């Protein structure tokens, strides 16, 4: 155990001090490529999971880098590219988080600086939120990043242009999904990191997920991380769309109206570093005076993955 711990520490240290001169040398004991752990996604994943990593030799401390499977979707490719960005905090830790702890949750605001909806950063140029947030609204939109509390000195606003799902409305009442294109690209830092999208269409999720909610959407200084059960049984309505929507039942809590657009996510089992994938965004909450077992309906992100990829990464290829 001590030896494995020392190995992990030494490998992580190489991220900061790569030996670039030896980076691509081939070692006779490795059938793949010898490189630093910083340049090897599969080795980084093994290190995070506590699994052994094969070294090419003990002098250069290069790892034998197994080739990762070719991504099947653009979303999977981009998630792997984001894998080197470290999470400052663990969003799955239940309870109350202060405003600068959540790296991909943003506040979508109107021109008066009032919070309208939550949103999720999914690239350096796009935020994902709920379409109905902009019903009967034609004003200017901005996104509050790094902290969703304006009182935080690190928070900053970026203007954004909403791109609404073209079929939302009479053609597809369930496509409660919009993308906000930021007026400028952002640099990812310790408190700003995008979340991953599902890797495939029509993905079947495990039952347990995590949601971020604000109390009535009024106090943005704290966000609460709660567990929800994803189900299609009671008390979900019989007529909800089981392809385009997900029914979420909060566990020992509730999702109040005022949290539209907020993400519901799970640990991404297939990503390189166990990133967080957004399985749905809150489409319909309930008034807070209702009981805690009331359901909430989410827009199923995997169902609309093709449209998201075409808008966010139009020139990206596999």
In a domain, 313, yes or no: no
Nearest 5°: the CA angle 91, 143, 115 is 85
In a domain, 31, yes or no: yes
> What pLDDT does residue 126 have?
98
**CB 294: neighbour CB atoms within 10 A?**
16
Does one domain contain both 158 and 211? no
Task: Return the CATH number at 210.
Answer: 2.40.10.10
Does one domain contain both 122 and 180? yes
pTM: 0.78
Question: How many Å apart are CA 114 and CA 97, to the nearest integer?
Answer: 21
Does one domain contain both 204 and 236? yes
Question: Would you list the DSSP string of the chain?
Answer: -HHHHHHHHHHHHHHHS--GGGTT---TT-SSEEE-GGG-HHHHHHHHHT----BS-TTT--EEEPPPPPPSSHHHHHHHHGGGSPPSS-TTS-EEEETTS-SSEEEEE-TTS-EEEEEEE-SSSEEEE-GGGGTT--S-EEEEES-S-TTSTT-EEEEEEEEE-TTBTTTBTT---EEEEESS----BTTB-PPBPPSSTTPPPPSEEEEEE-STTT-TTEEEEEEEEEESSTTS-TTS-TTTEEEEEESSS--BTT-TT-EEEEE-TTSTT--EEEEEEEEE-B-TTS-TT--EEEEEGGGGHHHHHHHH-TT---
Q: 132-170 pLDDT, tens per residue?
A: 999 988 899 999 887 666 666 667 889 999 999 999 988
Question: How many Å apart are CA 211 and CA 228, to the nearest integer?
Answer: 7
> What pLDDT does residue 12 have?
46
Note down the domain range covering 57.
Answer: 2-65
Return the percentage of the chain with pLDDT > 90, whole number: 27
> pLDDT averaged over the chain?
78
Does one domain contain both 91 and 111? no
Does one domain contain both 115 and 237? no
> What pLDDT does residue 17 have?
38
pLDDT at residue 65 is higher than 70: yes
**If you search the block for the tokens 């640099």, which residue do you land on?**
187
pLDDT at residue 191 is higher than 60: yes
Minimum mean pLDDT among 50-54, 103-107, 200-204: which range? 200-204
> What pLDDT does residue 176 have?
96
Average pLDDT (266-278) is 69
> What pLDDT does residue 142 have?
94
Task: Select from 193, 213, 236 the last residue of a domain.
Answer: 193
Does one domain contain both 88 and 201? yes
The answer for residues whose C-beta is within 8 angstroms of residue 16's C-beta and 6 or more apart is none
Does one domain contain both 31 and 121? no
Average pLDDT (60-85) is 82
């Amino acid at each position: 155990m001590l030896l494995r711990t020392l190995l992990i520490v030494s490998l992580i240290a190489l991220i900061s001090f790569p030996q670039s001169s030896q980076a691509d040398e081939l070692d006779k004991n490795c059938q793949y490529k010898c490189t630093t752990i910083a340049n090897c996604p599969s080795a980084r994943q093994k290190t995070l999971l506590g699994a052994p990593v094969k070294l090419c030799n003990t002098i250069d401390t290069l790892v034998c880098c197994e080739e990762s499977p070719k991504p099947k979707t653009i979303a999977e490719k981009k998630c792997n590219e984001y894998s080197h960005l470290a999470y400052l905090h663990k969003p799955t830790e239940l309870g109350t988080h202060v405003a600068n702890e959540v790296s991909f949750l943003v506040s979508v605001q109107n021109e008066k600086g009032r919070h309208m909806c939550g949103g999720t950063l999914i690239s350096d140029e796009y935020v994902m939120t709920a379409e109905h947030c902009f019903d009967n609204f034609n004003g200017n939109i901005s996104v509050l990043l790094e902290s969703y509390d304006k009182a935080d000195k690190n928070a900053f606003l970026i203007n954004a242009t909403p791109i609404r799902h073209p079929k939302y409305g009479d053609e597809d009442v369930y496509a409660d999904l919009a993308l906000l294109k930021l007026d400028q690209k952002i640099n990812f830092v310790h408190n700003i990191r995008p979340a991953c999208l599902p890797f495939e269409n029509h993905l079947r999720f495990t039952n347990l997920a995590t949601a971020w909610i604000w109390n009535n959407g009024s106090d943005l200084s704290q966000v609460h991380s709660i567990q929800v059960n994803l189900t299609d049984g009671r008390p979900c309505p019989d007529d909800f769309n089981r392809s385009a929507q997900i029914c979420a039942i909060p566990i020992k809590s509730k999702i109040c109206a005022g949290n539209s657009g907020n993400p519901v996510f799970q640990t991404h089992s297939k990503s390189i570093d166990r990133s967080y994938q957004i399985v749905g965004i809150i489409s319909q909450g309930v008034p807070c005076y209702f009981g805690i077992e009331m359901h909430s309906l989410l827009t199923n992100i995997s169902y609309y993955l093709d449209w998201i990829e075409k808008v966010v990464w139009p020139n990206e290829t596999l």
